[in-house]
Structure 1
Amino acid sequence: MNSNSATSPFGPGLQVPISSPSGSNTTTTGRPPLWNSSSRRKISRLYLYTTLPLEKIVAVVHAKSPDTVPGQDSAHKTLNAMLNKQPRWLHPRNEGDMARRLEELSLSPTRTNSTHNSISSPMQDTSGSIPALNAVPTPHLVRNPTRASLEVPPFNQYSQSQQRRANRPTVQEREQEENSHFRTFLQRPTFMTTSTDCTTGTFSSLLKDYGHPYVKTVKRLIKRYTAPLSRRGASLSPISDEEPTMTSWLEDRDAPVCLPNGPYYMPGDFLCIDQVAQDDYTCFEGTEDHIKKSCFCRPMEELREPAWITAQGVSQTGSNAVALAINNSSFEERDQFGHTVFHLMAARGMGDELFEAIRLVQDADILNEQNTAGQTLLHVLHISWFHSEVHLQHLLDILARKGFNFSASDHYGRSFSHILFQRDESVGFRNNLLQLCGSTSYQKRDAFNMTPTNAVAPEPTIGINRTYTQAMDIDPPVQNSRHDNSDPYRTTDIQQEARTLEYVRAAVDDPLLEDLEGRNGLHCLAAATLSSSSVTQKYNLDKEGMPNYQKNKREKVDKYSDSSTRGLEFRRTLLESLLVAGVDPNHYDTHGNTPLMAFAAQLPEDDDYTNGPGIIEDLIRAGARVNARNRAGETALHVAVRCGHKLAVKQLVKSGANVHVRDAAGRSVLEVADAKMKSLRGQDDAEYSHLEACRAWLSGTSSGAVQEPTVLQEWAICS
């Protein structure tokens, strides 16, 4: 590789990576390390879930070895290594914020079981030697292995008399717990033994300025809510068994499975929830749909007055809204999900009433109102409307005369033309609708890789016909993975990097340009590696462009790298030029992802901490829909959490992202963080800390995310 041929503004060429002296767990002098994986995880957890100052956190983490407590400089470096620069915003603001984070943590099934599922830190080797391979590759399968552990001992380890003699809280202490911020957290059941849970002597001496409930809370956080890391990860030897866990966000094994035929349900379906119930709808606990919460059990159970429609039928509130529209020509009423009375009439097949209401309405803009999922009245049409094309065409003609926006799309990027395309309506009818959309509005791909186009009569074709594959929800064969182990020089990957940059440049002149994966210029900018130093680091090359096999060395961040201030400012400048050129910020690629999702997944956060969030903010201000969903039901917030990108998470929430969303697997954003942590290995300290940071901040008072969001929390209008 020749850096002189680069077109980016980054000056110096490739430089030899500089390894960090802090990457090793043992020192050359033979002394035990000040920090190991367990203590690094603990300092992160205490910083994210308690209001303790760093000095106190370090003392608690090293309570068992007070003579070797690290200094403040070492603690700050370790914390920055785990949570990146300026992590202060992640720290709970007060005890109320701390309590809320802990309450949501205690509701996590993954974390509740973490005592038995988490891995333990091995005994530190004080000889200073570094074994080449783990002598016992699967220590958790060995009977009674000798190791230091924070795991709770078995219940039968202590005799009954010992447990009876254990220190129990006094009446005064119980009263303090009852009146403290942490009452709910402390009342959660725990598998800790009575002696372990009630004895806080060491912690009390370290935290003598804090009350009994606070000290007990800190101890339970350390002992009970350990990192839910994979046991298998603990057995991996450092060389022979090493495997990556933080793979490409598009190939993430913890990502939800894509929805095959569209979303399970959206708010428009709630307008007919009574018909679902009356059709003897049955569902059984333990089934896949029930576990994923894709069945109608939760909506039927949770929707109550003042919802317009409940499982029992039209509510009094719904009847009043219809009466006001019909009798008084008043159309201002909205339900909890942002539906107008036009939505209600369309969804329940009230044709005569709908036609009359459209005729009487004075402010035609109300016809374009969308619910909280972006659905217009056409998105929610009852199936009976499609039984007669004449009837439906009459509705479309009336709406067209009222200036209806036929191109309006829901959170999956689907306009009414997508719905017609999926329903396989007649060629003439679909083409007529496309004409109503207007010649200046080109039809866009939705999250399910469907692009409505002018329909033609079927003709025999050779190979893959895009129209037919979209109509049948079948994609062309997936391209081979870019990661080819037979190409150690990563020639193909580097050529792809060059092509991606070329698409970014060309999109300024051609805003509709796409690559082979349907990505527009914004998608490509999110994926592009802009500096030569980042290319060498990404593909493990040396300064000559040759394979670098010294994988264990930690490289120093280059001032020209993509994560540097200069690198992110350059990316932000390119973003502005693409937006000015008219590149669509809501464009879906063939994978079903928007540019906002791509940026949330790929923006670096290990150096500059202001320009990355600024890029996301600029994109949303330019019209990117912050709550748009991909083919797996994920929003950009889901994606950011899954990638452990805490700065992206913060900016998305600040820009209006819904923190109560669920993906296609039925997982909340907190559950996604849990799932990702559970799949990590014991060595993934920084990745664990990033995921824990996302979870802790989201569950705090600033964001208010919950472990198990209700239907109303996910879809109702935010109050």
Structure 2
Amino acid sequence: MDSASPTASASTNRGGRPKDWTEPRTRRLIRLYLFTTLPLHKILELLEEDDFKPGKDAANKVKNTVLGNDPRWIRPRDDNEEKARIRGLRNSLRGRRGRQNVASQGPSGTAPGHNINQGTFSEDRSLGGTTITQSYRSSFEESHWPDSASFAHPLTTNNTYSMALDEVTSSRFIPSLIGRRNSNRQDTGLTASTDISITSALREKLSFLSLSKAKRTFKVLKRYTFPKNLESQHTFDISHGPEHLSSDGGKSRPLDATFAIPGDFLNFELFANRSRCATESLAHAAGTCWCKVDDQVGPTRKMWANTKVSGHISDQGLMLIDSFGNTVFHYLASLDGIQDLFIHLVSQAPREPRLPFGASNTAGQTFLHVLHHSWFREGSRLTELLDTLRAQNFDIFATDVYGRNFYHTLRHNRKNSARFPGQTADISRINRRDAFGLKPMDPYPARDNTYTTTHTQVTQGANTSIAPGLSRPTPKINTQAAMIEDKEIYMHVDLLKVVVKAVGVDEDFAPNPQNEDSQGRNGFHCLAEIDFGLAPATPKHNARAYPIDESRLSPPGQSKRRYDDSEEIEVPRTVSDSRRLECIRGLILAKVDANQYDINGNTPLMSFVLHSSDATKYEKEESETVLRTLVHSAGARLEARNRSGETALHLAARHGKTVALRVLLELGANPNTRNGQGLSILEVIDNLYLTTERDDKHNARFEACRAILTRTPDATKQSPNLLDEWGKK
């Protein structure tokens, strides 16, 4: 008790109470807690300084405040996991900065970035901007962040970060060759030479550890800390979207490969301008140009170039599948001048069940997604091909990771045509919204700034603004004292109406699975945002309180009115009684699409991730169960991407949703995906980490996400390549 909450003394020290936990102290606590297996009392001993004596109770309160309810599951389970996590820190942006500073003054005289003890480390130039937003029912509900913020990547080739002297001089351990005299404690091999500056107190605190573990602990505590002098960094920005316009409107510059997916690797025309790729361009520096793609997929392209296929259905060449899941049918569909041969093979393919005829590649593309543009010219045999496929029950409406089906490709290649071959009953499947807000059958507007041209289609950035004249009036709630405005309750009522109509619990009792609101959100999207515990004059957990109802206040001179539990909406205490899960089951029975995109480019799984919470044990369990149900029972796709190229796993990491991150990884989500700027998940976290110096809660969340992602040695790569991202698992 004395250590947890000591009494005041002449030094005025408050003894480790929460108010004494400054940002640096909290960050050190969280790093040691997440990246080492040290017991909490040993961590607190390492944090002691001057008159600051942290107590266990105060430390637990601080830890649980920033990491959520009972974060013990995030800790490393053993030394192997600890090593893997610290290796991840070593490969991070801040880890590379630390090595650069050490190398610049190393005793061996080696050049910066080439320390003899740590090998050669090339600087990663692929970092660009990213955003963080606060979501409803967020894990950060008490924080107030702007809707978006840009984060830059420092080019460190000609820029050495100036770190604090004590961090620079204490960056490495050198094993002591001469034992310390007159010492009865274990020798850790730590020295206080001129090259290493480490206080005797810290050496004493680490003496109970082995040399290797002491080194790891010291690195976590002192080296992989928050970098200084952020204002000195250079910005490295990448235009969001695949077309970088030059002075001639972009005509002289090839499109970059920002949104390249496996079907594009078969399009030899996209690689024709490799020799024209400017090495000084932003796309080349970020690794998103076609020449960089060619370097990684060259062997696959060479394999297909050497493939010869006969017209006989028994040809063994028809069994070929590349590393990205592209079949020989994908390859043949991407070629020009072989329509007769291709239709012949397609019509015969069902006779050989072993053939990968209807298979999709790792981006969800069938061969219809990669048809050569000659198939869309007048006089082609496209209609015959489609009729043949329908007769064989081929999935013509299959969608790729951006929600695009064959008709999006048709729309792009036949901009001036309104003909969409298909049945009337298929209109809802034909006119499916993709991640970029485009529906194939919608009118094709004139090109403007809301459009981004990609190598496969023109995609529209949806306009989510609402004209002032069409906005809904602010609702009023009558009370005995006054009229209280409450937009939030009205908003949740509207969301619930979408769910109810989709399930069919309305006047007609007729389910309408296609029902959506003005933002394109279907029942699943809306259900993710509903707060079932919301009621007038009843603040939700960790949120701002509603306006005070003065009618509830006690008259002057009378005692305060006793709280009545019946005035608050009862919240289920177990997940089995969750109203949200009950509604999800109803939406699944009504066959509501769990992969539909809203006009902002998010799927229901993304919405549930963004609005998940881990503030209480119940919310943690509910979030986990909901995500598993969406994937296993509703068929939500883990690798679906939004218009920024992010998967649900990207969003979980970028918003600090630790529970969602863990569940998605357990469900099989690929941690080595990259967003539309070519940034991996760990690179995004690095950028976000640079912005949280004054925000303990966000800083801790990003540290926790990095810890979860780097549990095992090869779980998540700092800079994955195309095979890591799109290769068959």
Asked whether the two chains share a fold, i.e. TM above 0.5, the reply is yes
Give the share of equivalent positions with the same residue, in percent. Answer: 30
1:54 matches 2:40? yes
Structure 1 residue corresponding to 2:290, chosen from 288, 296, 302 = 296
Distance 1:670 1:699, change over 3 A: same
Amino acid at match of 2:400: D
How many angstroms apart in 1 are the aligned matches of 2:323 and 2:705? Answer: 29
**Displacement of 1:360 after TM fit?**
3.1
1:640 matches 2:630? no
CA contact (8 A) 1:256 1:664 kept: no
Distance 1:539 1:154, change over 3 A: closer
Amino acid at match of 1:500: L
**Displacement of 1:633 after TM fit?**
0.6
Q: Which residue of 2 aligns with 1:626?
A: 638
Q: Which residue of 2 aligns with 1:129?
A: none
How many angstroms apart in 2 are the aligned matches of 1:337 and 1:437? Answer: 34
How many angstroms apart in 2 are the aligned matches of 1:405 and 1:436? Answer: 17
1:396 matches 2:386? yes
CA contact (8 A) 1:197 1:220 kept: no
Deviations 1:252-299 (A, max 9, x none): xx99946789962110111235x4444444323453323443312332
Amino acid at match of 1:447: A
Q: Which residue of 1 aligns with 2:728?
A: 717
Structure 1 residue corresponding to 2:267, chosen from 266, 272, 283 = 272
Q: Which residue of 2 aligns with 1:544?
A: 549
Q: Which residue of 1 aligns with 2:329?
A: 342
**Displacement of 1:537 after TM fit?**
5.3
How many angstroms apart in 1 are the aligned matches of 2:238 and 2:445? Answer: 38
**5 Å matches for 1:455-534?**
473=460, 475-476=462-463, 478-479=465-466, 491-509=486-504, 510-532=512-534, 533-534=538-539
How many angstroms apart in 2 are the aligned matches of 1:72 and 1:303? Answer: 54
How many angstroms apart in 2 are the aligned matches of 1:263 and 1:545? Answer: 56
Amino acid at match of 1:648: A
How many angstroms apart in 2 are the aligned matches of 1:701 and 1:453? Answer: 47
CA contact (8 A) 1:291 1:666 kept: no
How many angstroms apart in 2 are the aligned matches of 1:268 and 1:572? Answer: 37
Deviations 1:310-366 (A, max 9, x none): 4xx7465xx27x469766256333211111110111123343442332233224683
Q: Secondary structure at the match of 1:589?
A: coil
Q: How many residues align?
A: 583
Amino acid at match of 1:627: E
How many angstroms apart in 2 are the aligned matches of 1:114 and 1:484? Answer: 55
Q: Which residue of 2 aligns with 1:182?
A: none
**5 Å matches for 1:598-609?**
598-608=607-617, 609=620
Greater mean alpha carbon deviation, residues 41-50 or residues 696-705: 696-705
CA contact (8 A) 1:613 1:648 kept: yes
Q: Which residue of 1 aligns with 2:320?
A: 333
Q: Which residue of 2 aligns with 1:169?
A: 175
Structure 1 residue corresponding to 2:362, chosen from 372, 392, 416 = 372
Unaligned runs of 5+ in 2: 102-161, 180-189, 232-236, 244-254, 451-456, 477-482, 505-511, 552-566
**Displacement of 1:75 after TM fit?**
3.1
Distance 1:516 1:284, change over 3 A: same
How many angstroms apart in 2 are the aligned matches of 1:371 and 1:709? Answer: 19
Q: Secondary structure at the match of 1:342?
A: helix
How many angstroms apart in 1 are the aligned matches of 2:572 and 2:291? Answer: 46
Distance 1:623 1:105, change over 3 A: same
**Displacement of 1:541 after TM fit?**
2.6
Q: Which residue of 2 aligns with 1:701?
A: 712
**Displacement of 1:706 after TM fit?**
1.0
Flag the structure with more relative contact order, 1 or 2, with Cα contacts below 8 A and sequence separation at least 6.
Answer: 1
**Displacement of 1:453 after TM fit?**
3.0
How many angstroms apart in 1 are the aligned matches of 2:541 and 2:81? Answer: 42
CA contact (8 A) 1:660 1:706 kept: yes
Amino acid at match of 2:216: T
**Displacement of 1:561 after TM fit?**
9.0
Q: Which residue of 2 aligns with 1:209?
A: 208
How many angstroms apart in 1 are the aligned matches of 2:590 and 2:662? Answer: 28
CA contact (8 A) 1:627 1:658 kept: yes
Distance 1:75 1:440, change over 3 A: closer
Deviations 1:12-61 (A, max 9, x none): xxxxxxxxxx9xxx999943451322222111111211122222212112
How many angstroms apart in 2 are the aligned matches of 1:662 and 1:561? Answer: 42
How many angstroms apart in 1 are the aligned matches of 2:88 and 2:218? Answer: 17
**Displacement of 1:668 after TM fit?**
0.8
**Displacement of 1:660 after TM fit?**
0.6
Q: Which residue of 1 aligns with 2:218?
A: 219
Q: Which residue of 2 aligns with 1:387?
A: 377
Q: Which residue of 1 aligns with 2:149?
A: none
Distance 1:300 1:116, change over 3 A: closer
**Displacement of 1:534 after TM fit?**
4.7
1:355 matches 2:343? yes
Q: Which residue of 2 aligns with 1:452?
A: 440
Amino acid at match of 2:709: L
Distance 1:115 1:106, change over 3 A: closer
Q: Which residue of 2 aligns with 1:44?
A: 30
CA contact (8 A) 2:572 2:578 kept: no
Distance 1:200 1:484, change over 3 A: farther
CA contact (8 A) 1:115 1:152 kept: no
**Displacement of 1:671 after TM fit?**
1.4
Q: Secondary structure at the match of 1:592?
A: coil
Amino acid at match of 2:671: V
**Displacement of 1:627 after TM fit?**
0.6
Amino acid at match of 2:34: L
Q: Secondary structure at the match of 2:380?
A: helix
Q: Secondary structure at the match of 1:647?
A: helix
How many angstroms apart in 1 are the aligned matches of 2:589 and 2:541? Answer: 32
CA contact (8 A) 1:229 1:678 kept: no
**5 Å matches for 1:10-89?**
30-32=12-14, 34=16, 35-62=21-48, 64-65=49-50, 68-89=52-73
Deviations 1:523-561 (A, max 9, x none): 111112222345585444355399xxxxxxxxxxx9979
CA contact (8 A) 1:48 1:92 kept: yes
Amino acid at match of 1:86: D
Q: Which residue of 2 aligns with 1:422?
A: 412
Q: Which residue of 2 aligns with 1:650?
A: 662
How many angstroms apart in 1 are the aligned matches of 2:424 and 2:175? Answer: 73
**Displacement of 1:444 after TM fit?**
1.8
How many angstroms apart in 2 are the aligned matches of 1:600 and 1:168? Answer: 45
How many angstroms apart in 1 are the aligned matches of 2:472 and 2:33? Answer: 37
Q: Which residue of 2 aligns with 1:122?
A: none
Q: Secondary structure at the match of 2:395?
A: coil
Distance 1:634 1:215, change over 3 A: same
Q: Secondary structure at the match of 1:395?
A: helix
How many angstroms apart in 1 are the aligned matches of 2:699 and 2:473? Answer: 28
**Displacement of 1:104 after TM fit?**
2.2
Q: Which residue of 1 aligns with 2:250?
A: none
**Displacement of 1:395 after TM fit?**
2.2
Q: Secondary structure at the match of 2:578?
A: helix
Q: Secondary structure at the match of 2:685?
A: helix
Unaligned runs of 5+ in 1: 1-21, 118-149, 174-185, 187-192, 233-253, 465-469, 547-557
Distance 1:259 1:647, change over 3 A: farther
Q: Secondary structure at the match of 1:390?
A: coil
How many angstroms apart in 2 are the aligned matches of 1:388 and 1:171? Answer: 81
Q: Secondary structure at the match of 1:85?
A: coil
- Normalization by structure 1: what TM-score? 0.71
What is the CA RMSD across the aligned residues, in angstroms?
4.4
Higher share in helix: 1
How many angstroms apart in 2 are the aligned matches of 1:49 and 1:325? Answer: 59
Amino acid at match of 2:348: L
CA contact (8 A) 2:462 2:600 kept: no
Distance 1:207 1:153, change over 3 A: closer
Greater mean alpha carbon deviation, residues 529-538 or residues 501-510: 529-538
CA contact (8 A) 1:374 1:410 kept: yes
Amino acid at match of 2:315: N
